[in-house]
Amino acid sequence: QQQVRQSSQSLTVWEGETAILNCSYENSAFDYFPWYQQFPGEGPALLIAIRSVSDKKEDGRFTIFFNKREKNLSLHIKDSQPGDSATYFCAASAYNQGKLIFGQGTKLSIKP
């Protein structure tokens, strides 16, 4: 049973467009939702995170939109650059649980 689900295995957008990556979850106890970015040959790195008390978190070109009622969230990457081509993982954790539950990842390709 996949507790955290990412709707697309892969996504391709043109340079300059907004890439939208979607994620949904099942456990209502989850209250922390990070997105990790992974380049080939490297480990994942934290990109941006949101807590369930917020519905939006912005950091430069990256924005998380969070819908607690629908149990879904999305990562928007504005003005996509070729350097944003990577695999993006949505993850979730419950309060004081410590561990993260990861989605399967979305491989994003930006076409110049």
Partner 1 sequence: DAGVTQTPRHEVAEKGQTIILKCEPVSGHNDLFWYRQTKIQGLELLSYFRSKSLMEDGGAFKDRFKAEMLNSSFSTLKIQPTEPKDSAVYLCASSLGGSSYEQYFGPGTRLTVL
In angstroms, give the least distance from the CB of 71 to partner 1.
19
CB 104 within 8 A of CB 9: yes
Among 11, 13, 20, 100, binds partner 1 (CB under 8 A): 100
Interface with partner 1, residue 49, by CB under 8 A: yes
* Residue in the block written with tokens 């807590």: 51
In angstroms, give the least distance from the CB of 36 to partner 1.
8
* Residue in the block written with tokens 């990256």: 62
Nearest to 82 by CA among 45, 59, 111: 111
- Which residues are near partner 1 by CB under 8 A? 32, 34, 36, 41-46, 49, 89, 93, 96, 98-100, 102-105
